[in-house]
Amino acid sequence: METGPSFVPLYQQVRGILLGRITDGYWKPGEPLPAEPRIAEELGVSPGTVRKALDDLAAAKVVTRRQGRGTYVTEHSPDTALFHFFRVVNAKGHRSLPDCRELSRHHGKVNARERKALDLPAGAPVYRIRRMRPMEGRDVLIEDITVPATLFPGLIDGRAPLPNTLYDHYQRAYGVTIRRASETLRAVGASDSVARHLGLATGHPVMEIHRVAIGLDEKPIELRITWLATDDFAYHVELE
Amino acid sequence: METGPSFVPLYQQVRGILLGRITDGYWKPGEPLPAEPRIAEELGVSPGTVRKALDDLAAAKVVTRRQGRGTYVTEHSPDTALFHFFRVVNAKGHRSLPDCRELSRHHGKVNARERKALDLPAGAPVYRIRRMRPMEGRDVLIEDITVPATLFPGLIDGRAPLPNTLYDHYQRAYGVTIRRASETLRAVGASDSVARHLGLATGHPVMEIHRVAIGLDEKPIELRITWLATDDFAYHVELE
DNA sequence: TAGTGGTCTAGACCACAAA
DNA sequence: TTGTGGTCTAGACCACTAA
């Protein structure tokens, strides 16, 4: 028989309260939180307890602390979004950042794979976007993005092209913050379509990456399937 | 012009002292450290400062805290070594652990790639080991391991087979602790040799993983090149 | 029962940023 | 100059483990 913890530490309760206010949009990305002593007296706990809660949230990148200025709700920028979630390096092992060229966008209904990854009901409407992400001027990376239409109404209905980095756009335009992502990598032979876009022979080995991006509330937000030609680039991970 | 920090916080100095004693073997893997108040009075700092230093080392998995028992120098076990550094999942996305079958072992001198990865002088002696790591009974993973002979004298000279998990063996038998690892992944066509071992056609897409394992002192310890057939297995990462 | 780490408090002083 | 987070101290009490 499973028994829960006999008590919940105060600082974890405080962390939950603060996270709730951020998730609910009471404090918005880029905004400063009240000073630590202010939060402490409001909640009736010691400043040290608030500090520990904020340290936890800072470690999870939910808030960003800046000495002498204050504690801010973390705001994705094009740079931070790429820095946290883009792990491709060039032949020298140096981080390299992609450009962007949109290939197609469609309305549709979830297929089986998307349903499973995004935990959606059958028939739920989705948007699908296919983009080329050239690296150092070469077409080596292509990605298929699927998001629930209900979360991002009108995302692909405008005439303007979508921004290069979507996660900061999700946050700014829809209040949806990506907190973390889960990636599954395989080596596959390039399909006709992928091979054509990447200038390879059909069946040439490419890396296929399934990414599910998870929001502040731990719910899946986006499914992204990437194909990367690893002849001149590679995927890099630090295991700690 | 680069200017260093104007001062080094006390808790970071304490962390450095404690890490030094562990690196030097003054406190050995599996042994308990003195209690926090004991360390504090020995170093002449406040218990809270020692606590913060130990929290840092625990986050880096250098020490392990056990409530009610004490703080211990982290000891690799077969399970922890695999749990931290083995990221292969089966088709259902569940973690799966490999068996081990040694294929060959050799003495040799570093080649160019190993020199670069392991930061060794030209002509340095190395040991090379090739192993099959069957997953769920199938030959899907093969690995080539290179270590400097000077670090692990006699490692491959015995008659007994090497243990399935090497990192805990490095620690127990040679006092060398692996702290983290850096992996670079590519999709490649299987070479004749790899294809034969994995039962694939030459050129079949496989994942090639270059891993450099780093020690407590941040120096490279081991180079390991892995080929994984990703038809029924995959490599999984969490990005945070 | 004794000893450990885990939590919580209350305050002092310092480094840093902005007005 | 003011206010922020960063560091450091000094203790109290609680939960957990092992003898």
Residue range B8-52, pLDDT digits in tens: 788 999 999 999 999 988 999 999 999 998 899 888 889 989 999
Percentages of chain B per state (helix, strand, coil), in multiples of 5: 30, 35, 40
Q: Is B187 on the interface with A (CB under 8 A)?
A: yes
**CA torsion through residues A155, A146, A80, A174, sign:** positive
Q: Which two tokens stand for residue B17?
A: 């002292």
A2 backbone dihedrals φ, ψ, rounded to 5°: -90, 125
pLDDT tens sequence across B193-240:
999 999 999 999 999 999 999 999 999 999 999 999 999 999 999 998
3-state secondary structure of B107: strand
3-state secondary structure of B138: strand
Q: Which two tokens stand for residue B139?
A: 């030959």
* Contact criterion met (CB below 8 Å) for B202 and B192: yes
Tally of residues, chain B: 240
**Which chain A residue has the Cα nearest residue B183?**
A237
Intervals of chain A under pLDDT 70: 1-7
CATH 1.10.10.10 residue ranges for chain A: 10-73
Which of A 103-142 lie inside 8 A of B, CB atoms? none
What amino acid occupies position A48?
A: G
Q: Is A235 on the interface with B (CB under 8 A)?
A: yes
DSSP secondary-structure letter at A162?
P
- The bridge status of strand A233-239 relative to strand A88-90 is antiparallel
Has residue B4 got a pLDDT over 50? no
pLDDT tens sequence across B63-86:
999 988 899 999 998 888 888 899
Q: Is A206 on the interface with B (CB under 8 A)?
A: yes
Q: B143, B140, B138: which is closest to B162 by C-alpha? A: B143
- CA–centroid distance for B77 within its chain: 12
Residues of B in contact with A180 (CB under 8 A): 238-240
Has residue B190 got a pLDDT over 60? yes
Which class is B78-235 in CATH? alpha beta
Task: State the CB neighbour count (10 A cutoff) for residue B31.
Answer: 12
pLDDT classification of B96: cutoffs 50, 70, 90: confident
pLDDT tens sequence across B144-157:
999 999 999 999 99
Task: State the CB neighbour count (10 A cutoff) for residue B171.
Answer: 22
Q: What is the pLDDT of residue B83?
A: 86
Q: What is the pLDDT of residue B3?
A: 37
What amino acid occupies position B185?
A: L
Distance CA A105, CA A132 (A): 12
Q: Which two tokens stand for residue A231?
A: 């002849």
Q: For nucleic chain C, which protein residues have CB less than 7 Å from any of its atoms?
A: A 9-12, 45-49, 52, 66-69; B 5-7, 32-33, 35-38, 48, 51, 65-71
CATH of domain B10-73: 1.10.10.10
